[in-house]
Amino acid sequence: MFQNRFVAISGCSGGGKSTLLAELKARGHAVVEEPGRRIIAEEAASGGDALPWADLAAFLRRAIAMALRDREEAVDHQGWVFFDRGLVDAASALEALTGEPILHRLCDVHRYHRRMFMAPPWPDIHVTDADRRHGLDAAVAEYERLMQAYPALGYEVVPLPKTTVAARAEFVLAALGDVSGET
């Protein structure tokens, strides 16, 4: 099935995920950018308030819808498709925020490759910016939630090493090289 080529890269906010995905894209792989950053840009441009610091539930619902749409659009790509966060991240956050039992309902149906990659907290590279306003403590709490969510859904969580971007990309590709696209 096509989603077996869909690889989730998640983890601690500010842990180097987007930089890793840029490297994978430069190497010719399909990459889907993080829904959160795209939503923030859209909301800022339109004056909307579905922002994590204004209406977190609305933001997360938009992230879920965007992640589902991203998956549909990624079907046409050949080879590995790497997702900077995605459905599990948004659904687990919404469930934690509201108590709405959405994680398994959505994520058991819409699967990524069984092996996913988790960026650990890395204080040396964590920075805040206009779109990432939360500090390292909140990022670590997010990481801990995700470290429970992915295994609960049956994913094999592979921690990303704290190394150069090129070495991280090689690590991911090597780890996928010894597993098929079967889940």
Report whether pLDDT(180) > 80. no
Q: Structural domain tally of the chain? A: 1
Q: Give the whole-angstrom CA distance, residue 132 versus residue 36.
A: 10
Sequence letter at residue 122: W
Residue 6 located in a structural domain: yes
| Domain of 127, in residue numbers | 2-177
Q: Which pLDDT tens digit goes with each residue over 66-81? A: 999 999 999 988 899 9
Residue 182 located in a structural domain: no
Q: Which pLDDT tens digit goes with each residue over 128-166? A: 555 544 556 777 888 899 999 999 999 999 999 999 999
Report whether pLDDT(85) > 60. yes
Query: What was the pLDDT predicted at 134?
Result: 56
Report whether pLDDT(108) > 90. yes
Query: What was the pLDDT predicted at 147?
Result: 95
Domain CATH number, residue 8? 3.40.50.300
How far are the Cα atoms of 41, 42, 132, 177 from residue 46, in angstroms, in the given order? 9, 6, 19, 42
